[in-house]
């Protein structure tokens, strides 16, 4: 009798463990849908998203106009509030940072950087049914932000 | 009424993180490429870490090699529980150098990152041409200015 109870209990734990492992894998697969190359609606850049240390980061991998007309040199992050970092090139810049998958096709807790103004915004990313992304940047209250639609390139 | 106050005693010190090993595995495509290395801070100073900034960051190529493959380098630090912070840059990378001293941020406070376990250096380097059969390795020596409060 004891043996049978023990066996049933062990099987139950194993089943829960396997199911949990599968859920975790499925979650990871869902979360990794953000990985890829994306085009913001203004067509000025392409942004590649990758996973680093469990979070998602997007960096500029292509600029439509990579050269600064004022200097004739590659564009720099000249509006960065930290003056010591203004030599950072925009090509390669990580403009999306620190996103975690919250489930329900949404990545949260991240930030988006606008190199044109040097401003950093809180940001959420929502993947729509057609596979495009609603990128919503805001300061403080999410309802008062602005949304841009990004489409997958690769 | 009795007012109680306490004065925290601050201790400034240097915290080195040396011989961090970076690998940028090929094929490497034109544009930004990434290398990572991690360390777990273990400071001897007593008290709470109340301030930390990166004082220096030096990248070293293996003997007989240099950093001519890079046009620029950006250095960032992140942990699984803290946001990624850019802490250094070198643009352009001077030609023929086997050692690069990065310009480091004097504003970025890294105390939260250094208090949260394993830290990951993330180095982004722009490469001007495709390098299909190349893997680039280099090492990094870093120094933090830290303040502990007892």
The interface predicted TM-score of the complex, written ipTM, equals: 0.74
State whether residue A154 sits within 8 Å of chain B by CB: no
Could you give the CA distance from residue B124 to residue B136 in angstroms, rounded to a whole number? 13
The secondary structure of B18-61, three-state, reads: EEEEEEECCCECCEEEEEEEEECCCCCCCCEEEEEEEEEEEEEC
Q: Write the CA distances from A133 to A19, A94, A144, integer angstroms.
A: 30, 18, 18
The predicted-structure confidence for A26-82, as pLDDT tens digits, reads as follows: 688 999 999 999 999 999 999 999 998 889 999 998 899 999 999 999 999 999 999
* The pLDDT value given to residue B29: 82
Bond prior to B27 in cis (omega within 30° of 0): yes
With cut-offs at 50, 70 and 90, classify the pLDDT of residue B45: confident
Output the pTM of the full model.
0.80
> Considering only CB atoms, which chain A residues are within 8 Å of B108?
82
DSSP state, residue B63: T
CB contact under 8 A, A85 and B89: yes
**Of B49, B46, B22, residue with least CA distance to B33:** B22
* The pLDDT value given to residue B5: 40
The predicted-structure confidence for A123-138, as pLDDT tens digits, reads as follows: 999 999 999 999 999 9
CB contact under 8 A, A97 and B84: yes
DSSP state, residue A89: B
**Of A26, A143, A76, residue with least CA distance to B72:** A76
Q: Is B1 contained in some domain? A: no
Q: Is B30 contained in some domain? A: yes
State whether residue A88 sits within 8 Å of chain B by CB: yes
Q: Is B88 contained in some domain? A: yes
Would you say residue B2 has pLDDT above 50?
Answer: no
* The pLDDT value given to residue A19: 53
Q: Is B5 contained in some domain? A: no
Would you say residue B1 has pLDDT above 60?
Answer: no
Could you give the CA distance from residue B71 to residue B97 in angstroms, rounded to a whole number? 12
* The pLDDT value given to residue B4: 39
What sign has the CA pseudo-torsion A86, A88, A89, A91?
negative
Bond prior to B92 in cis (omega within 30° of 0): yes
Q: In this structure, what CATH number is given to the domain that contains residue B93? A: 2.60.120.1430
The predicted-structure confidence for A3-14, as pLDDT tens digits, reads as follows: 666 556 565 555
The predicted-structure confidence for A80-111, as pLDDT tens digits, reads as follows: 999 999 999 999 999 999 999 999 999 999 99
Q: Is B86 contained in some domain? A: yes
Could you tell me how many CB contacts below 8 A there are between chain A and chain B? 72
Q: Is B93 contained in some domain? A: yes
Are A112 and A125 contacting, i.e. CB atoms less than 8 angstroms apart?
no
The fraction of chain B above a pLDDT of 90, given in percent, is: 71
Could you tell me which residues of chain B have a Cβ less than 8 Å from any Cβ in chain A?
31-32, 34, 36, 71-72, 74, 76, 78-80, 83-84, 86, 89-91, 103-108, 120, 122, 124-126
Could you give the CA distance from residue B64 to residue B83 in angstroms, rounded to a whole number? 36
CA distance B84 to chain A (A): 7
What sign has the CA pseudo-torsion B130, B90, A51, A77?
negative
Structure tokens at B104: 């480091």
For tokens 């200015």, the residue is B145
The number of domains in chain B is 1
Q: Is B60 contained in some domain? A: yes
Could you give the CA distance from residue B39 to residue B120 in angstroms, rounded to a whole number? 7
CA distance B83 to chain A (A): 6
* The pLDDT value given to residue B30: 84
DSSP state, residue B94: P
- Taking CA–CA distances from A55, the nearest residue in chain B reads B80
The predicted-structure confidence for B100-144, as pLDDT tens digits, reads as follows: 999 999 889 999 999 988 999 999 999 988 888 889 999 999 999
* CB neighbour list of residue A58: distance below 8 Å, 6 or more residues apart: A38, A47, A48, A49, A50, A94, A95, A96, A97
CB contact under 8 A, A92 and B105: no
Q: Which domain holds residue B85?
A: 11-149
Q: Is B2 contained in some domain? A: no
DSSP state, residue B117: S
State whether residue A94 sits within 8 Å of chain B by CB: yes
With cut-offs at 50, 70 and 90, classify the pLDDT of residue B3: very low
């Amino acid at each position: 009798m004891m043996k049978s109870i023990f066996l049933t209990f062990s099987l139950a734990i194993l089943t829960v463990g396997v199911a949990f492992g599968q859920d975790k894998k499925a979650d990871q697969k869902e979360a990794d849908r953000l990985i890829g190359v994306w085009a913001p609606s203004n067509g000025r850049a392409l942004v590649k998203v990758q996973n680093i240390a469990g979070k998602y980061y997007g960096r500029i991998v292509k600029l439509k106009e990579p050269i600064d007309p004022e200097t004739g040199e590659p564009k720099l992050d000249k509006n960065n509030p930290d003056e010591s970092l203004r030599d950072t090139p925009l090509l390669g810049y990580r403009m999306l940072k620190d996103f975690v998958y919250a489930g329900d096709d949404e990545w949260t807790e991240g930030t988006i950087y606008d190199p044109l103004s040097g401003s950093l915004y809180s940001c959420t990313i929502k993947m729509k049914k057609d596979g495009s992304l609603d990128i919503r940047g805001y300061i403080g209250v999410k309802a008062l932000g602005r949304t841009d639609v990004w489409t997958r390139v690769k | 009424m009795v007012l109680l106050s306490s004065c925290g005693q601050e201790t400034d010190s240097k915290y080195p993180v040396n011989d961090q090993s970076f690998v940028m595995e090929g094929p490497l495509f034109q544009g930004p490429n990434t290398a990572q290395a991690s360390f777990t801070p273990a400071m001897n100073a007593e008290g709470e870490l109340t301030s930390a900034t990166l004082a220096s960051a030096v990248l070293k190529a293996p003997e007989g090699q240099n950093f001519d493959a890079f046009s620029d380098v950006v250095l960032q630090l992140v942990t699984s529980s803290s946001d990624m912070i850019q802490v250094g840059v070198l643009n352009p990378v001077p030609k023929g150098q086997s050692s690069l001293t990065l310009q480091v941020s004097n504003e970025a406070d890294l105390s939260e990152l250094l208090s949260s376990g394993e830290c990951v250096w993330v180095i982004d380097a722009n490469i001007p041409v495709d390098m299909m059969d190349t893997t680039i390795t280099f090492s990094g020596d870093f120094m933090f200015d830290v303040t502990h409060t007892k």
